[in-house]
């Protein structure tokens, strides 16, 4: 969660002052970016405390949404957190030419508010946000913003299933790495396929409260970030945290999805990674545990010549236990059918063996009769001759083929449940 730091200039901040606080717009050259795309046609789901669509900078941008806390209104935001995230993503300003107030990185994207907790110190249960994630997917959201960490540190099975559901339905899932400064990315950000986000300051240095470690994907501004906040008298606040950074990455994903609508979620993430940069941090090798694959660059994400790459997510994919169970069930069914087939084959072999035995017995009887007729002279049909004749019979069971012949070709690399290195596609040098 972000910690609100009120604007201190006056009780009512001037419009120019508010826009001037948005240092991110300048460092990202957003005017040039908006000439290419503004996120039109893309819905970003904000799973949070709700989003106040009545804020002047958000009017017309916020869909009805849904409340998962017990029948309330998704646009009733008691803490201001969700409204802040939505504004970083899609605020459009207000007044003449929208020159007043704040503006988000994707001002023409739509926000789907999904309220999963109410007050600042309320728990955000996995059951609630997991249901919200599934709802977002079913409502057509192309990006899901999760500016929170799982209660208890680990994501429950229901939460993991929801993330797997989103990834399987071509949705970009973005989540906060955490604000404790620990060398461990929090879940759900740490789950395979999720874009985990840490925070940097104006100098592009990692914020000391930003979690780091294995699994960190991208960095984005998260210090002294302006956002809309109707719970404050000035209607705005400044804050620090990976929540804000997450919203910036979600907005950038929306810009990419608007510019390149035919790209899969994995290919969108690929563009975010390939266009990121370590900026002034020399000697880092991606993925770095403090900076991931680098700091996002929205303009480069929509303008750089980056091959689409594979359709799969370069950060991996979380597998659903349901699909695993189904596959296991199919395998069990196939095994049962194989057993039935083997059983049938065995029955046939038994019948053939019985017939062969009858033939052998008949031959023996014939030999004995002839032997008796011949007085046991050792001529044709004698014991030695019979023995030689029996040896010519093939064995009742052929040797089983070696197991190696039934293994089939080895699975292709894409079938292994690992997280491929996005840099295997010859990306541009980090730090450009």
Q: How many CB atoms lie within 10 A of CB 235?
A: 21
- Pick the catalytic residue from 49, 87, 243, 250: 243
Q: Distance between CA 274 and CA 268 in Å, rounded?
A: 10
Parallel/antiparallel/unpaired status of strands 172-176 and 195-200: parallel
Which structure tokens are listed for 31? 């005017």
Find out whether 236 and 227 touch, Cβ atoms under 8 Å: yes
Is 26 an active-site residue?
no
Q: Residue 1: which residues within 8 A CB-CB, separation 6 or more?
A: 81, 120, 147, 148, 179, 241, 243
**Which ranges of 78-156 would DSSP assign to H, the alpha helix?**
81-90, 126-138
Closest residue by Cα to residue 418 from 320, 289, 328, 314 = 314
- Pick the catalytic residue from 52, 57, 79, 81: 81
Is 81 an active-site residue?
yes
**Which ranges of 21-91 would DSSP assign to H, the alpha helix?**
23-27, 30-34, 81-90
Q: Distance between CA 408 and CA 2 in Å, rounded?
A: 53
Give catalytic residue positions. Answer: 48, 81, 243
């Amino acid at each position: 969660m972000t910690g609100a730091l009120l604007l201190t200039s006056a009780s009512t901040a001037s419009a120019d002052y508010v826009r001037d606080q948005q240092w991110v717009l300048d460092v990202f050259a957003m005017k040039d970016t908006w000439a290419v795309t503004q996120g039109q046609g893309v819905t970003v789901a904000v799973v949070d405390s709700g989003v106040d669509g009545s804020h002047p900078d958000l009017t017309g941008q916020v869909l009805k949404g849904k409340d998962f806390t017990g029948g309330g209104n998704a646009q009733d935001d008691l803490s201001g957190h969700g409204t802040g995230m939505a504004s970083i993503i899609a605020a459009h300003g207000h007044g003449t030419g929208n020159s007043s107030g704040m503006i988000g990185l994707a001002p023409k994207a739509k926000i789907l508010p999904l309220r999963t907790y109410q007050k600042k110190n309320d728990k955000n249960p996995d059951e609630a946000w997991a249901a919200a994630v599934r709802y977002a997917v079913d409502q057509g959201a192309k990006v899901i913003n999760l500016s929170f960490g799982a209660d208890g540190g680990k994501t429950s099975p229901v939460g993991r299933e929801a993330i797997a559901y989103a990834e399987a339905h071509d949705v970009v899932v973005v989540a906060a790495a955490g604000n404790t400064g620990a060398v461990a990315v929090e879940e759900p950000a740490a789950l395979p396929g999720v874009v985990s986000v840490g925070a940097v300051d104006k100098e592009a240095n990692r914020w000391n409260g930003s979690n780091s470690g294995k699994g960190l994907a991208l960095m984005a501004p998260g210090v002294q970030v302006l956002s809309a906040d109707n719970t404050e008298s000035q209607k705005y606040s400044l804050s620090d945290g990976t929540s804000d950074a997450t919203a910036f990455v979600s907005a950038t994903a929306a810009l990419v999805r608007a510019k390149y609508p035919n790209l899969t979620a994995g290919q969108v993430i690929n563009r975010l990674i390939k266009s990121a940069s370590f900026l002034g941090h020399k000697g880092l090798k991606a993925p770095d545990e403090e900076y991931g694959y680098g700091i996002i660059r929205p303009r480069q994400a929509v303008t750089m010549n980056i091959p689409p790459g594979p359709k799969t997510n370069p950060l991996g994919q979380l597998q659903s236990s349901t699909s695993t169970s189904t596959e296991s069930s199919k395998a069990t069914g196939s095994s049962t059918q194989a057993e039935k087939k083997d059983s049938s084959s065995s029955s046939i072999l038994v019948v053939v063996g019985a017939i062969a035995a009858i033939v052998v017995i008949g031959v023996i009887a014939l030999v004995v009769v002839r032997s008796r007729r011949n007085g046991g002279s050792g001529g044709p049909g004698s014991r030695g001759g019979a023995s030689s004749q029996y040896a010519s019979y093939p064995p009742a069971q052929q040797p089983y083929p070696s197991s190696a012949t039934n293994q089939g070709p080895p699975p292709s690399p894409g079938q292994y449940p690992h997280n491929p290195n996005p840099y295997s596609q010859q990306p541009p040098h980090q730090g450009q």
